[in-house]
A = this chain, B = another copy of it.
Amino acid sequence: MMSDSRVSSVIQEWASSYSGQAHTLNHNTPSSQLAQMDMVPYSQSQGLVRGGSDDMMGLSYLPYSTSCLNNSSAGSTNHHQSHANTQQDFSSFLLPSLRTPVNKRSISKDSAEYRLRRERNNVAVRKSRDKARRRIMLTQQRAMQLQEENQKLLMRIGQLTQELDSLKHILSQRHIQGSDDGAAGTSSI
C-alpha cells in the first residue's frame, strides 16, 4: 500500500528534529520513560522552575486570580503599562527580591536598543514556535506510521504462526508414520 522509502524518510526527519541541534536532551527530562529520544519540552521544565503551583492536574486554567499572587507580580502579566487595567501594580512591594521593572536602569522603552532587542526576540520566538510546530507534526506522522507498521508486523506474525503450525502438524504426522511401524499408536487407549 505504501512505499517504505517515504516512511523511513519521515521517520528520519522526525529523529533529526529531536537531535538536530544536540541541545534537547540535557534540558530536564525528569520523566523516567521519556529519556531516550523524546524531550518533553512543554510543562515539565516549567512546572519545576517557573510557575508550577497548580499545573499538576486539570486545574491550570482556573481564573488564575484564585491561585496566588498572579497579576503583574511574579508572572509576566500586564506588560501594557498604559492599558488602564482594573488590577493595580503590586510589583513595587511584593517579593522584594527578583524585582526588575522599576530599577534595572529603567529599561527605557521606545529606545532603539530596546526595539532592536524586542524585534530580535520576536524573530527568535517565531523561529522557535515554527520548530515546535514542525516537531509536533513529525511526531504525529511518526506515530501514525509506527501504527501502520505495527499492523503489518502483526499480520506477518499471524502468517508465520500459521505456517509454523502447519509444518508442526505435518511433522507430527510424519513422526507418527515414521516411528510407529504400522502399530496402533495414538488412537487406541
Contacts and interface: CB of A to CB of B under 8 A. Distances in A.
Interface of A: 33-34, 36-38, 40, 42-43, 55, 58, 60-64, 79-80, 82-86, 109-110, 115, 119, 122-124, 126-127, 130, 133, 136-137, 139-144, 146-147, 149-150, 153-154, 156-157, 160-161, 163-164, 167-168, 170-171, 174, 177-178
Contact of A80 (B60, B80, B163): B80
A109 to B, nearest CB: 6
A85 B110 CA distance: 6
A189 to B, nearest CB: 27
Contacts of A170: 171
Given A80-B80, A150-B150, A174-B174, A140 B60 contact: no
A121 to B, nearest CB: 11
Number of chain copies forming the complex: 2
A167 B150 CA distance: 26
B62 A123 contact: yes
B61 A123 contact: yes
B146 A147 contact: yes
A140 B61 contact: no
Contacts of A164: 160, 163-164, 167
Contact of A109 (B83, B115, B141, B143): B83
Nearest to A168: B167
A158 to B, nearest CB: 10
